[in-house]
Each structure stands twice: as C-alpha cells, then as structure tokens.
Amino acid sequence: MADPHTDQQPMIRLENVTKTYPGVDEPAVADLSLDVHAGEIVVLLGPSGCGKTTTMRMINRLIEPTSGRIYIDGADVTNVDPDELRRHIGYVIQQVGLLPHLTVGANIGMVPKALGWDKKRTDDRVTELLALLGLDPPESYRRRYPKQLSGGQQQRVGVARALAADPPVMLMDEPFGALDPIIRDRLQDEFLTLQQQIHKTIVFVTHDIEEALKLGDRIAIFGTGGRIAQFDTPIKLLTEPADEFVASFIGAGSSVRLLGLQHVEELPLQAVDTVEDEQQASQHLDGKRVLLTDGGRPARWLPALADGQVATVRGGQTLYQALDAMLTAHDDLAVVTDEDGRVLGGLSMDTVLRHVPSDEAGGG
C-alpha cells in the first residue's frame, strides 16, 4: 500500500541528528533521520539508554543536538529561541510536573498566559479542555489543587496543559508509565479517542511494547548506539521484523498481538438467520439456530445456548475483543452489529484464526 503522506511535507523532520556528550565515546543518538507526518502518532520505543528520550527532547531543544537539523512544519528550529519554541509545542511527562501551589486552572492556563492571551480567552480554553478530558464539572476541577486529584486526574490535567495553546505538535514522555495498569489502559483508550478529535502530531516515548503497538501509527525501535533498528507500522513490525534484534525485542506472541491491531470490519462476515417474532422461529430452525432480534438488535439464540449469551461485537472493535466475546459466551460465532446495535452478520472463530499470520510468518 502506498504511503498517503509521500507527497506531503512532514510536520517534524530530523536530518542527520547526532548527540554526543563530553567524555562519552559512543553518541547518545547517531546520525538520526526521521519524519513524522501531520496528525500521526509516532512512538519511539526501546530499552533504557537507547536514545529515544534524548531524541524527543532534542525536538523541543531541552537537549541541544551536537549536529544535524530539526524542522517543524518546514522551519528550522535549531535557530529559534528555545523558550519561544517550547511555547508552541505541547509537552507531557510521566511525573506530570504540575505546580503544586497553583490551581488546576492556573496550571492549564500557564502557556496561554505566557503567550499574552486575555483572561476570558484563557478561562474559556481551560473550561473547554477540562470538559474534553472528562474532568466534569469544569468549574469544580479548575479550583482544585494537584494534591486533591488522583494520579489519573493529574495526568489528564497534564495533557490539558500541553493542549492549552492548541499546539500543532505534542511530545509525550512515558505519560502513563506511573499509573496502575487498569487506569493506564483506560487513559490510553481515552487518548486515542481524543486524538480522533484533535489530530495532533505526536511523538510518544515508551519502553512498553504493548503500549507502542496500541497507540502508534508508526513505531521507531531504537537499537544500540542511538540508531533506529526499524521504523514501521505495528503490523509490519510484528509480521516482518527487520532483524534478530527487533524480533527479540518484540518477543514471542506476535499472533496474539496482531489480534489487537486488526479490526472486525476488515474480515468477511457470514449471514445470520434472524427473526423478530419468537413464534415464527420454528419455521426457520430446520436443524439450525436462529437469532431472535428486537428492532434489528440481538436478543438471544433459538434454540437457546446453555448460558443464553450472545457474543456481540462492533465492526470497529478488534479481533482480540471478538475472540474474547466468543470465549465469554462459550460460542464460536460473534454477532457483528453496527454502531446502533443492529445486526450486520456473523464472524466465526475459524475466520478470525485463518486471517491472523502465525508467529513463524513474522519471524517472532
């Protein structure tokens, strides 16, 4: 498939960027070239000390490159005042970094205030972002202090602060790493939903392969010596690892991970016999089961399964979620519905398994 961004100028471009620290033989980042397209989430992934965080921090010049050029929207930022540059780039870190003596509203409004926004415009933006990030009611949250918030709420405020001046670019350094797994998973889902609305260009640093596969449009896996071992889509990384280092870093279980990257709507569906009136069901059974529906929505199978459950999934859900629904319902068929819950067809477990490459195909 052709890259839809081929003819577009990247939002972020790194050209032959190197970072060398005094007294250290090996560079932290070596001759790195990397493009990030507008509206794309690019994840920098790798073990500790591989250069991923150094690379991200050179983009907003928290760390100065030793050599090379960095462009944002076509402009060479290596010649821009660093403080001015950072006011136009959102930045979210793992420790959040909220100022404890300022209210939530004041924390979010810091950059707009520095840019000279008037009070009403800043207050309106704070209210908008609090609502957007699920901190309702905004008037209650804006008056609180960071210590009065949970870890997940603080992280939401950190994201709101990064978005406050509506920057085209966001840098996110392990923003969910300090949260417990359940909250982290929920915030990742919310973040993806948010990205569908705001379409920011995002560079996201993590050491967690599962997080990278879930969030990244493309993933740059850093190898030794501050170099990129492979820069590709999640599916390509799982099915076509560039070398043994990439394959070993990703680890076993590529087939299972692919289930979380492919969607129900990508697979062929089979017809499902449905009836709206249970009294008419006997005319359709003829040795096979029929789905009783209510207004086109699944109700139950006839004859009923032992536990009475119908495995249902939507077209936009993943194959992992489809298999989970089947296993929960003790069934080998999931009923696929549209966003209104109406039946589109059926997805069999056999179809799912036939469309997921084996680990051997991926070299993992």
Q: Residue 319: what residue type? A: L
Q: What is the pLDDT of residue 281?
A: 64
Kindly report, residue by residue over 317-356, the tens digit of the pLDDT: 999 999 999 999 899 999 999 989 999 999 999 999 888 7
Check residues 305 and 264 and name the one with the higher pLDDT: 264
Q: What is the pLDDT of residue 361?
A: 42
Instruction: State whether residue 334 is helix, strand or coil.
Output: strand
CA–CA separation, 290 and 308 (whole Å): 13
Q: What is the pLDDT of residue 362?
A: 45
Which pLDDT band, with edges at 50, 70 and 90, does 284 fall under?
low
Which pLDDT band, with edges at 50, 70 and 90, does 364 fall under?
very low
Is it the case that residue 314 has pLDDT exceeding 60? yes
pLDDT (mean) for 195-224? 93
Q: What is the pLDDT of residue 282?
A: 65
Kindly report, residue by residue over 158-180, the tens digit of the pLDDT: 899 989 988 999 999 988 877 78
Is it the case that residue 363 has pLDDT exceeding 50? no
Q: How many helices (H) and strands (E) does the chain have?
A: 16, 16
Which pLDDT band, with edges at 50, 70 and 90, does 72 fall under?
very high
Kindly report, residue by residue over 3-37, the tens digit of the pLDDT: 555 557 899 999 999 999 998 888 999 999 999 99
CB atoms within 10 A of CB 164: 23
Q: What is the pLDDT of residue 134?
A: 85
Q: What is the value of pTM for the model shown?
A: 0.81
Check residues 203 and 183 and name the one with the higher pLDDT: 203
pLDDT (mean) for 296-323? 85
CB-based burial label for 105 (10 Å; 0-12, 13-18, 19+)? buried
Q: Beta strand 274-275 with 290-294: parallel, antiparallel or unpaired?
A: parallel
In DSSP terms, 92 is beta-bridged to: 172
Mean of all residue pLDDT scores within the chain = 88
Q: Residue 42: what residue type? A: V
Is it the case that residue 303 has pLDDT exceeding 80? no
CA–CA separation, 166 and 170 (whole Å): 10
Q: What is the pLDDT of residue 1?
A: 41
Strands (E), 113-188: 169-173
The 3-state DSSP composition of the chain as helix, strand, coil percent (nearest 5) reads 40, 25, 40
Is it the case that residue 304 has pLDDT exceeding 80? no
Q: What is the pLDDT of residue 311?
A: 93
